[in-house]
Chain A
Amino acid sequence: LSLFATLIAIPAYNEEAVIARVASGIRDAIPEADVLVIDDGSEDATPLILQKEGIPFARQPCNLGYGRTIQTAVRCARQQGYGALITADGDGQHSPEDVRSLALASRDDPSDYLIGSRYLATRDYSTAPVDRRIGMQLFSWLTGWVGPTRVYDTTSGLKVIRATVFDALLRWHFVDFHAEAIVYLASLGYTIGEHSVGSHPRRRGVSMYTPLASISYPVKTLTMTALAVAHARLEKRRNAR
């Protein structure tokens, strides 16, 4: 895979404090690839900053959530014929070096969906809050149960998505995208890989996981994951006929 055929999408929601630094850092680290910020209807100065800095961006007229924002990026990559899409969080959790490292790893790794994993090397979730830690371990175990290999970082926003899975990702309606996408694609027979990257605390802004979400998120995601597996099996059976 050539990095010239790669689109790097950075989903951002109210990230005025860091978005310019994050986007230009990634752009400078991987000059071969194209960078596009997907602004998820920010209410702060994020779009103005992007415009001022000359960073290409697509602005959703209203807040659609992370899953839909990633689908917008997938739609864009598919429409323009890119070979791969790299997603990196807009809050600065991933260093440009990590994004580059993952991009370079994707040239040799044939996985359809390659995750920049913070836990692959250490398998130590102690840095995450307790509620999230339980969720991460549960969904990590679930990926091993459904797919051929266990994924240790199901919530990473840094990933390489190959064009082979664009259509599949646009067909399913994700609530959260992370674990659902992994399990759905694994159930369809696509390969999921992990590449070890560093972990950095978010620089500014507010996490999308609120205390209420830490209760509702696992329930919704578990339901959607189970349905995604059922849907994938039905789809495979239909295609086999």
Chain B
Amino acid sequence: LTSPWSRLLLGTLSFVIAAWVLSLVRRGKLYVGYGLPFLVLAAAGAGLALLPTHHPDFVGGVRAASGWLEAALVLAAFGIAAMFIYILSQLTIIAGRTARLAQELALRDAARVTRKAQNESSTPPRRVRAGQPAGRPRS
């Protein structure tokens, strides 16, 4: 990257993306498996921003671009990344709610089956069944 402004922008946006992703993962709003590729990309972006000006030849093409074009490309790339992070975050939130629902259903279903079994049997059950008030621990 040729322009110091492009480097600054790339470095800043990489840091912002990494901090945002880590915050979302910590709060359970982004699955860590979805977040890791963005963390790797952010690290790569930060590395590119800190790269010395003597680039190897394969980066020469990027150097040839003008400063404002680079900045625009960096902004566009991060805009797309942010959009993906937002979509994946919403997906994680929905998955979390579904999992919670599945957990509650499992416990309620167990209680229902147990009640049915209790009704069919004349002897009381020896053990506690999930979600069954009668099965509270004995002291």
From B26, B28, B36, B107, give the contact of A79 (CB < 8 A). B107
Q: Is the CB of A56 within 8 A of B130?
A: yes
Contacts of A72 in B (CB 8 A): 103, 106-107
From B36, B103, B107, give the contact of A223 (CB < 8 A). B36
Contact A58:B107 (CB < 8 A) given known A80-B135, A223-B32, A231-B26: yes
Q: Is the CB of B136 within 8 A of A56?
A: no
Q: Is the CB of A5 within 8 A of B32?
A: no
Q: Is the CB of A173 within 8 A of B130?
A: no
Contacts of B28 in A (CB 8 A): 172-173
Whether a CB of chain B sits under 8 angstroms from the CB of A36 is yes
Q: Is the CB of A59 within 8 A of B138?
A: no
State which of A60-68, A97-105, A121-129, A202-210 sits at the interface with chain B. Answer: A60-68
Q: Is the CB of B138 within 8 A of A36?
A: no
Contacts of B88 in A (CB 8 A): none
Q: Is the CB of B106 within 8 A of A4?
A: no
Q: Is the CB of A219 within 8 A of B127?
A: no
Count residues on chain B whose CB falls below 8 Å from chain A CBs.
33
Complex Cα gap A224–B31 (Å): 10
Q: Is the CB of A58 within 8 A of B139?
A: no
- 20 A-B pairs within 8 Å (CB atoms) are namely A5-B137, A6-B137, A7-B137, A34-B127, A34-B135, A34-B137, A36-B129, A56-B110, A56-B128, A58-B107, A59-B109, A64-B103, A79-B107, A80-B136, A82-B137, A175-B33, A220-B32, A224-B32, A227-B26, A231-B26
With A58-B107, A71-B103, A80-B128 given, can you name 13 additional A-B contacts, CB distance below 8 Å?
A4-B138, A5-B137, A5-B139, A56-B130, A61-B106, A64-B102, A76-B131, A80-B132, A82-B137, A83-B137, A175-B32, A223-B32, A223-B35
